[in-house]
């Protein structure tokens, strides 16, 4: 698993109809772990554009065009840098206008090793959804389903999928702490949200991603099954 700063899930509706206008209480995909994220069907086989807003201003995952995060990434003694940029462009996915986020990985010399592009959108309640990754999966195509990138109000114990495409994208996330702390090159931070990520496609591997309010991802460490570490160096607001 390459170190990644990627910004790159199932609950039944509670009481009211699902907030994203979905029929029923599930999807055609494999069932997801239990979720505490109320009134959402995750992953979602379909999206209602009317339920989404133009800007992504989630406190834990703000994705305003022009924002840029710079990270260092280490694994097996190798040092890389990662730049994540919110591009000033959009993409229509299942009728939803998605924000485009680019991630560029470079080696010590500055040579580009990898470039990825992901798509995100925020619903009216403030939840940020992951709609796909260019060249890998796209919600609504070949059975792929949108997942949750960040709840509007994370709670310890919330579990959800961050996207779904059988055999390709089966990532799961669980909120484990709302008052974490971390010392990274960007600074000494407290009051952080910590989320553990795993996938049955890589059994035994467990990542912990740490997010700061009004900043986003500040640390990503593989706690089991590897030694990858990603830390925030600088954050540039638009």
Per-position DSSP letters for 73-109, written without gaps between them: EEETTEEEEEEEEEEEEEEEETTEEEEEEEEEEE-TT
SS3 146: strand
**Integer Rg of the chain from CA:** 17
pLDDT digits (tens, 9 = 90+) for 67-99: 999 999 998 889 999 999 999 999 999 999 999
User: Element (H or E) spanning 238, and its range?
Assistant: none
Q: What percent of the chain has pLDDT over 90?
A: 77
pLDDT in the model for residue 10 = 26
Sequence spans of domains, the chain: 49-236
| pLDDT over threshold 80, residue 8 | no
CA distance 20 to 65: 24
In the CATH hierarchy, which fold is given to the domain comprising 49-236?
YmcC-like fold (2.40.360)
pTM for this structure?
0.87
CA distance 105 to 112: 6
How does residue 37 score in pLDDT terms, banded at 50, 70 and 90? Answer: confident
- Phi and psi at 58, nearest 5°, equal -50, 135
The total number of residues written for the chain in this structure: 238
């Amino acid at each position: 698993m390459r170190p990644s700063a990627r910004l790159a899930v199932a609950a039944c509706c509670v009481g009211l109809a699902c907030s994203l206008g979905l029929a029923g209480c599930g999807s055609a995909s494999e069932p997801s772990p239990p979720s505490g994220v109320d009134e959402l069907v995750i992953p979602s086989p379909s999206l209602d554009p009317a339920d989404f807003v133009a800007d992504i201003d989630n406190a834990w995952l703000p994705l305003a065009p022009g924002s840029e995060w710079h990270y260092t990434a280490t694994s097996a003694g190798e040092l890389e840098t990662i730049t994540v940029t919110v591009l000033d462009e959009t993409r229509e996915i299942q009728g939803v206008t998605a924000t485009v986020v680019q991630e560029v990985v470079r080696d010590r010399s500055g040579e580009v090793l990898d470039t990825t592009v992901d798509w995100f959108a925020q619903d009216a309640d403030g939840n940020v959804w992951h709609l796909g990754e260019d060249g890998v999966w796209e919600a609504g195509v070949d059975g792929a389903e949108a997942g949750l990138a960040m709840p509007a109000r994370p709670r310890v114990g919330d579990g959800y999928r961050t996207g779904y495409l059988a055999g390709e994208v089966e990532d799961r996330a669980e909120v484990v702490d709302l008052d974490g702390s971390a010392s990274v090159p960007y600074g000494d931070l407290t009051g952080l949200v910590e989320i553990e990520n795993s996938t049955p496609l890589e059994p035994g591997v467990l990542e912990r991603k740490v997010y700061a309010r009004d900043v986003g991802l500040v640390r990503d460490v593989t706690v089991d099954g590897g030694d990858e570490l990603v830390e925030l160096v600088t954050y540039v607001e638009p």
